[in-house]
Amino acid sequence: MTFFNPDDVDGFDMTPAPPVKEKPSAARGLKASVAVARNTDDPYTGLDSKKIIAMAKGARDKRIVEPLINILLHDPYDENRRSAATSLGEFGDDRAVEPLIQSLKGEEQEHVLTHVAWALGKLGDTKATEALFEFYEKDVSKKVKDSIKSALIEIGSRRQNGEIVRFLFNLIDEDFTEYAHILPDDSSLYFPSLRNLLIETIRDYDRVTVQFHLGLIYYSKGQKNYALNHFEKAHRWMKEKKHPGALLFIGKIYQEKREIDRAIEHFELAMKLDSSYTETYDLLINAYYDLAREDAKRCLFDEELKGYNKIIDDFPDHIDASFFRGLIAIKQKNNKEALKYFTEYLEHGGRRYAQEAQDYIKDLQQNIFVRIFSTIKELFKRKDTPEPVKKFRDKRKR
């Protein structure tokens, strides 16, 4: 995207142009020759718009701001309003913010609008954020949209957030909504749209909810390091208590990075802060299971069993407890008991480890069948074969 620059506009010239070439806007009824300065004690009294605009270039006298504002709001000539907007942006006086916003809402000419947006970006006042974005959403030309986008990125850059604003704009333009599926149940934590998040990111970046939602957006886009940064800010900046939702996602990121111990640390803290976060229970159980599997790979079977027992001790009524009781039974070579627990897990609607449970059941049933077949085979070979087996064997021989 090419950023708007007032010097790129064709015909931009701060020197007075012959009045005969100008055509006033039909909606503005003042004459260009009317003096616009209000204060009779300043040097601009009695001067027409062209002379004031010419004097504004490089001026340091703050008294020129009011005459420029009057030109912006009331002058009938587009070029004068455009030049006044640019001069106000370059002058950098906060008094121009509200008039520029007012002009943005009432202006119809594209080349004036682009300069008004540029000036608001140059002034960098967050008060202009919502008005700019509202105008961005209107049916205006791409040129105006680009200038507004540049202005909002510029305002964000004043607070070192320009790249985040650009990132959110790109998501808005592509109608990104995939992040909605990862939102926890507490809807009061979130903004209703990316639009609201973008506005609040510019206006109140230090707000905990802004940081948390930015973390969600980056996480859903797979940019985990950026997400981790924002979640940690949300967690640190929470004054009265820590942020359990942020802790939950910090733990998820560490788990996905295979830093299981750090993941467990954050899940446990989140659960202590708010036991209503039921998703934390599932994540914590899965993290314990990951740790146990790591122990199994290192042949630390006692540690592996401790991991399974910890899950059962901490979550005895959780549906996944049956699955881990089955794993312990397998380790203890109690296949019948293991088969009972895995079957129980599936019958009660266990889903997370359903495929594993089904695979274990299949293997266990096959092993039981093989064992029964082997036992019968051995009985056939024995000299002291039981009478029923002997009769069956003799019958087969005949």
Q: 125: phi > 0 → left, psi -120 to 50 → alpha, else beta; which? A: beta
**Of 124, 158, 192, which residue constitutes the final position of a domain?**
158
pTM above 0.75, yes or no: no
| CA 39 to each of CA 30, 117, 143, 300: distance values in angstroms, whole numbers, following the listed order | 19, 28, 37, 87
Residue 111 CB neighbour total at 10 angstroms: 19
325 falls within a domain: no
Which is nearest to 268 in space by CA: 293, 234, 294, 242? 242
Q: Look up the domain containing 363 and give its range.
A: 337-398
Residues 53 and 152 in one domain: yes
- pLDDT tens, the chain, 398 aa long: 444 555 544 443 433 444 434 455 544 544 343 344 444 566 777 788 899 899 888 778 888 899 999 999 999 999 999 999 999 999 999 999 999 999 988 888 999 999 999 999 999 999 999 999 999 988 889 999 999 999 999 999 988 889 999 999 999 888 887 776 766 655 555 677 888 899 999 999 988 889 999 999 999 899 999 999 999 999 888 766 677 889 999 999 999 999 999 999 999 998 888 887 778 889 999 999 999 999 999 888 899 999 999 999 999 999 999 999 999 999 998 988 999 999 999 999 999 999 999 999 988 888 755 454 455 445 445 555 555 545 545 554 55
> What is the CATH classification number for the domain harbouring 255?
1.25.40.10
Residues 123 and 212 in one domain: no
331 falls within a domain: no
CA distance linking residue 319 with residue 321, whole number of Å: 5
Return the CA Rg of the chain: 36
> What is the CATH classification number for the domain harbouring 78?
1.25.10.10
Number of domains in the chain: 4
326 falls within a domain: no
Asked if 225 and 259 touch (Cβ cutoff 8 Å), the reply is: no
Residues 2 and 147 in one domain: yes
Instruction: Quote the strand ranges of the chain, DSSP E.
Output: none
Residues 280 and 360 in one domain: no
Q: Is the Cα torsion angle 291, 295, 301, 303 positive or negative in sign?
A: negative
Chain centroid to Cα 269, Å, comes to 23
56 falls within a domain: yes
